[in-house]
Amino acid sequence: MPRKILILLDSPKVRSEVTTYSVELARRMGATLHLLMLIRWEASPPNGATPPEVGSEGGEARQQAEIVVNDCIDEIRGCGLETVGTVRQGDPSSELLKYLAEHQPFQAVVWGGNETFLRRRRTPVRTHWLERIRDQLDCTLVVPSLKGEKTGVG
């Protein structure tokens, strides 16, 4: 069975530790990398509604996310690894669980989004959306630490 690692992003600001860690982990495991960028819709459109048009705030966010994803894919492929990437818009928890169901199994999810999550991980209250659903993941959630900090693996 082919091994797969998911790089999960919820911010267009991608930390270099995330791609470096993911590439090294994929090499050690002989795995392919999937890159998923999640964009939150503050006001989700009703069922059947179309995504925001390019030029609107939602369309511009998606366009920016696609540029970031393509840049990451180019960087990973430059390291000689196979990778695919996509952008999804909506509720991050829901979109992640749908993606995982469609592309199972993953051996690990490497999270690389908002640094606020890393700083709050020591508190018992699960305030970040990923913290609230982490128990539903069927694979290991890895959070590469920030340079100079000891936040470690989740």
In this prediction, residue 147 carries a pLDDT of 55
Instruction: Give the CA distances from residue 53 to residues 28, 40, 80, 129, in Å, rounded to whole numbers and listed in that order.
Output: 41, 15, 35, 26
Lowest-confidence pick of 21-25, 45-49, 132-136: 45-49
pLDDT band of residue 34 (cuts 50, 70, 90) is very high
Chain CA centroid to CA 86, Å:
10
pLDDT top residue among 138 and 4: 4
Omega of the bond prior to 92 within 30 degrees of 0, cis?
no
pLDDT top residue among 42 and 60: 60
Domain annotation for the chain: domains and CATH numbers: 3-142 (3.40.50.620)
pLDDT top residue among 94 and 59: 94
Spell out where 43-153 has E strands: 83-90, 108-111, 140-142
In this prediction, residue 112 carries a pLDDT of 84
In this prediction, residue 114 carries a pLDDT of 56
What tens digit of pLDDT does each residue of 45-82 get? 555 555 555 445 457 888 889 999 999 999 999 999 98
In this prediction, residue 135 carries a pLDDT of 83
In this prediction, residue 48 carries a pLDDT of 54
Residue whose C-alpha is closest to residue 77's, from 86, 87, 85 = 85
Give the whole-number percent of the chain exceeding pLDDT 90: 44
pLDDT top residue among 74 and 149: 74
What tens digit of pLDDT does each residue of 6-19 get? 999 988 888 788 89
pTM of structure: 0.78
SS3 content of the chain, % helix, strand, coil (to 5): 40, 20, 40
